[in-house]
Amino acid sequence: MQLFIDSADVAELRAAAASGLIDGVTTNPSLIAKSGRKMKEAIAEICAIIPGPVSAEAVATDVEGMLAEGRYLARIAPNVVVKLPLTENGLRACRTLSDEGIRVNVTLCFSAVQALLAAKAGAYFISPFIGRLDDKGVDGMELIREIRCIYDNYEYQTNILSASIRSVDHVRLAALAGSDCATLPPKIFAALYKHELTDSGVEAFLKDWASTGQSIL
């Protein structure tokens, strides 16, 4: 499963990229606003840090506005993926942009039939929001399983990008459910390394090694 970072903070992204484990980035208008940067400037810098897909979101709500913004965003860098909402206008714009060779991430997906429509519209990514469904008392991971089944049944090439990840367990379950990608807040990515038995094991090994008085070099 590919791992993306959900952030527009350049320092956070540089630190994550240094791990060699990050495959892409997702941003949204809220993250761009939080960064305090001009959108074009921020996306261009992020695309230079992370060579994989970088999602940049249009904010227009009408088809023509989405198309204009989507084309503009796609020109910033070759690894930009245009992010559009899962609305009727968003899917109409997705169909046009996809036909033009521009990759589209259809976001704010909350049902399997929405994901079916996105695949038919040519979406490159579909972003189901797991955590927000969980907040409503709905099993968000069941949505990932349903989308995986539908896409496999009909050989749709749209990639499932699990979003609204709230925990390390969400990452585990998304991988088990067959999600192609997951986009994580930096703190969740950092937590993937952690396990108390790993920490205690390292501590024990180092203590035993120190007792030998040896040096490897």
Taking only the tens place, the pLDDT of each residue in 35-87 is 999 999 999 999 999 999 999 999 999 999 999 999 999 999 999 999 999 99
- The reported pLDDT for the residue numbered 135 is 96
Q: Look-up: residue for tokens 């749209």?
A: 158
Query: For the residues 135-151, what does the mean pLDDT come to?
Result: 97
> In the predicted model, what is the mean pLDDT of residues 185-212?
97
Q: What is the pLDDT of residue 124?
A: 99
DSSP string, 20-54: T---EEE--HHHHHHHTS-HHHHHHHHHHH--S-E
pLDDT at residue 128 in the model: 98
What's the pLDDT score for residue 121? 98
pLDDT of 88 reads 98
Q: Would residue 83 show up in a list of annotated catalytic residues for this protein?
A: yes
Instruction: Give the Cα separation of 85 and 65 in Å (integer).
Output: 13
For the structural domain made of 2-188, what CATH number should be given? 3.20.20.70
Note the pLDDT of residue 168.
98
- Structure token pair of residue 57: 């979101």
Q: What is the pLDDT of residue 23?
A: 98
What is the number of alpha carbons within 13 Å of residue 47 lying toward its C-beta? 20
Residue 100 pLDDT: 98
Residue carrying structure tokens 């400037």: 41
How far is residue 96's CA from residue 105's CA, in Å, rounded to a whole number? 13
Give pLDDT, residue 8: 97
> And the tokens for 151?
């896409």
DSSP reduced 3-state for 89: helix
E strands within the chain? Answer: 2-6, 24-26, 54-57, 80-85, 104-109, 125-128, 159-162, 181-184
pLDDT at residue number 87: 98
Give the list of residues 6+ apart from residue 57 with CB closer than 8 angstroms, or none: 27, 28, 29, 82, 83, 84, 107
Question: Which of 40, 83, 187, 194 is the catalytic position?
Answer: 83
pLDDT at 154: 98
Count CA atoms closer than 13 A to 79's CA, side-chain side. Answer: 16
Q: What is the pLDDT of residues 95-114, one digit of tens each?
A: 999 999 999 999 999 999 99
Dist CA 114 CA 146 (whole Å): 11
DSSP 77: -
Q: What is the pLDDT of residues 149-158, one digit of tens each?
A: 999 999 999 9
Mean pLDDT over 174-203 rounds to 97
Q: Domain residue spans in the chain?
A: 2-188
Question: In the chain, how long is the greatest CA-to-CA distance?
Answer: 71
Beta bridge partners of residue 181, listed in sequence order: 2, 161
